[in-house]
Amino acid sequence: MSEPVYLDYAASTPVDPQVADAMDACLRDPDAMANAAATHWAGRAAAARAQPAREQVAQLIGARAGEIVWTSGATEADNLALVGAARFQQQRGRHIITALTEHPAILESCRSLQAEGFQVSYLSPNGAGLVEPESVAAALREDTVLVSLAHVNNELGVIHDIAAVGAICRTHGALLHVDAAQSAGRESIDVKAQQIDLLSLSAHKMYGPKGIGALFLDAERCRRVSPLLHGGGQERGLRPGTLPVHQVVGMGMAAELARARLASDPPAILALRRRLEAGLLALPDVQLNGSPEQRSCHIVNVRVGGVEGESLRLGLRRFALSSGSACAAESGEPSPVLRSLGIADHLALSSLRISLGRGSTAAEVDALVAAVDATSQRLRALAPA
């Protein structure tokens, strides 16, 4: 196999053909060309196109349609959830809890809030990369108003016990925000049962278009946050701007397909992940980063000893994979997530995040294992690290 192989589904997924068809039909519909906020017949037609999508996304996570706010993606949803909720709740308290292993959208939002006078507790993971519910409980203070924790970590793939954290936050009275960009369509999500107050989603992580995401706000617990943008009354005044109806339609269809395939996609991808792990971990000096059990179906993160990271990735250049979060890919620095696990910088730099999806095959998995074996042996022979 010599053709390029895509193994970076955690960074972005291809648009499902049914999603593309739904978006194309919307773009070609003359009745859907208007601004959905307009009150004339054309505006109502555009709004009618968008409304079912809100229900489709809500059904994926066990919410109600009126609890979904459209955003430009999970990054904006994370910012709106953290900054918006913290500012709105600041009369109650100015303390926030998150983890060192969170996505940059969370960490940078927290740093921005610190500049405004908020206090943030950054929890360290255990050796398996997990933030335990007991750690969250121990960090809670009387003035804690918000806890933010990813459902599935975007680099390690480990799954946090969100239901347990939700129960702790609910007892305390703090809001719980969950970044579900990696778990939607791969893990079961029920915002009511798991006691989640705010939840971020991204269409392009679940075979939808880029440029559209959503934020769930619990209608009883968190009816409002302070908006980050100003200029219109769209989305209940929480996120002004003309609604991109075709993108909304695309995200709705992606959510509907994800819900329909929740019983079939994860088991098939999990079988491939186990095949990949078995092959990689049988190679000399290759070790798994993160929990071997409490993990999502699609992400494998391994460190390859005795090689230089940039040379390793150059040798694997026909495989689209990464060494960490796509949002931090150009920094050239070791992954902060791997550093927080106590992994040495040289091993963090020679780590690979491989993520699988609907289009992945056993042949691609086997080809990657063979390439990692051949490349690592060649590099160790040339220049032992």
Distance between CA atoms of residues 372 and 385, nearest Å: 16
What is the structure's pLDDT at 324? 59
For 34-110, strand residue ranges (E) read: 68-71, 95-99
Average pLDDT of 338-342? Answer: 95
Which of helix, strand or coil describes residue 51? helix
Distance between CA atoms of residues 366 and 354, nearest Å: 13
What is the structure's pLDDT at 384? 63
Q: Which of 110, 169, 222, 327 is catalytic?
A: 327
Ordered by where they begin, the domains of the chain are 5-14+263-382 (3.90.1150.10), 17-260 (3.40.640.10)
Beta bridge partners of 200: 179, 215
What is the structure's pLDDT at 330? 55
pLDDT band of 357, cuts 50, 70, 90 = very high
> What would the two tokens of residue 234 be?
């769209």
Q: Is residue 327 flagged as an active site residue?
A: yes
φ and ψ at 117, to 5 degrees? 105, 0
pLDDT digits (tens, 9 = 90+) for 51-95: 999 999 999 999 999 999 999 999 999 999 999 999 999 999 999
Distance between CA atoms of residues 278 and 276, nearest Å: 6
Single pTM value for the model:
0.94
Mean pLDDT of the chain: 94
Rg (CA), the chain: 21
What is the structure's pLDDT at 37? 86
